[in-house]
Structure 1
């Protein structure tokens, strides 16, 4: 029951962050970013319990990587991920940063609450 409540609180936090996030100039929206990465949340909160990365998580990472090609899109995705990740309790950022590589994707920034998304190109 507590886990269910934590997940509901995390979802509420995500919604609040999305609503409060400044709109970036990129074509990609924070909603698209969240939609693509939502299947990864349970995996990074459980420290990878259950084995390999879930296929929907890798599919989302690949889709996001394909959608965010321009500098504004990359910065937009970075800002969204940074803001949302900071609001989800229990995220293992070390595992989170390994996820793209585990899915065969390279991203040009680290996922961290301190990432400077303005420097992403």
Structure 2
């Protein structure tokens, strides 16, 4: 139990550090930055790493927040890039959980979430 709690705390800490590092990826003129995206998705980590069978309600709320923030093509591209960058640095990520997240949360996104998506092609 203590190891699991410590592991979850370590993952959360790493995720927050990653979120701070991503602030420099997006130009300040864009409405969405990686900190916003990372904070919205932090409750998804247990589901995305296979520690939970379903995403938490707070995770799904975060997906909804991202969708509502990403109203323009540049915003959607920025959100995609932030999610892709965060996913690349999250150890133990389960690809099937990542791709299933929008459907599991009943929040359709206008683009797939995957490591192979080309965010510059998103409209």
TM-score using structure 1 length: 0.82
The runs of at least 4 consecutive aligned structure 1 residues that moved more than 4 Å come to: none
Aligned residue among 107, 116, 119 for 1:117: 119
SS of aligned partner of 2:7: helix
- How many equivalent residue pairs? 118
Unaligned runs of 5+ in 1: none
- Match among 67, 78, 81 for residue 79 of structure 1: 81
Aligned equivalent of 1:41, options 40, 45, 50: 45
| Ranges in structure 2 where 5+ consecutive residues have no aligned partner | none
Contact 2:26–2:33 (8 Å) recurs in 1: no
C-alpha offsets along residues 30-55 of structure 1, whole Å, 9 cap, x if unaligned?
111111111101221125x2x43211
Q: 1:37 to 1:62 in 2, by over 3 A?
A: same
Change (3 A) 1:110 1:88: same
Q: How does 1:2-81 map to 2 (within 5 A)?
A: 3-4=7-8, 6-7=10-11, 8-16=13-21, 18-23=22-27, 26-46=30-50, 49=52, 51-81=53-83
Q: CA 1:24–1:99 in structure 2 vs 1: closer, same or farther (change >3 Å)?
A: farther
- Structure with the greater relative contact order (CA < 8 A, sep ≥ 6): 1 or 2? 1
Match of residue 95 from structure 2: 93
